């Protein structure tokens, strides 16, 4: 089986457990976890290594209505993370493998 790699952006509402999920999958604390919403303000990347694959998990700020400069900056971070996660696959294939999963 060929080695594969890719990016996965973890996206959702504020305080939905995105950072906890990234920390759990990576196996160590790479993202801060707090009961306070909007703790994650920038993209945080954690790398999940497997025998046949490497996945870069991107923790993002929670999706919310931007009402001030900081909120708009956080939504910009989210947009940049999504753009990076939908890039072409790095396994040599020309097929697009980007997927969106919403809960």
Spatial separation of the C-alpha atoms in residues 12 and 62, rounded to whole Å: 6
* Architecture of the domain defined by 4-85: 3-Layer(aba) Sandwich (3.40)
Q: What is the pLDDT of residues 4-60, one digit of tens each?
A: 999 998 988 888 999 999 999 999 999 999 988 888 878 889 999 999 999 999 998
Spatial separation of the C-alpha atoms in residues 103 and 93, rounded to whole Å: 29
37, 41, 64, 65, 83 from 76: Cα distances, Å: 17, 10, 12, 12, 11
Res 90 pLDDT > 60: no
Spatial separation of the C-alpha atoms in residues 13 and 63, rounded to whole Å: 5
């Amino acid at each position: 089986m060929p080695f594969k790699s890719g990016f996965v952006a973890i996206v959702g509402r504020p305080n939905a457990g995105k950072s906890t999920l990234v920390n759990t999958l990576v196996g160590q604390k790479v993202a801060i976890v707090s009961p306070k919403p909007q703790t994650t303000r920038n993209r945080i990347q954690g790398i999940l290594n497997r025998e046949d694959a490497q996945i870069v998990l991107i923790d993002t700020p929670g999706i919310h209505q931007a009402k001030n400069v900081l909120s708009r900056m956080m939504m910009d971070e989210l947009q940049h993370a999504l753009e990076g996660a939908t890039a072409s696959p790095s396994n040599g294939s020309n097929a697009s493998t980007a997927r969106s999963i919403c809960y």
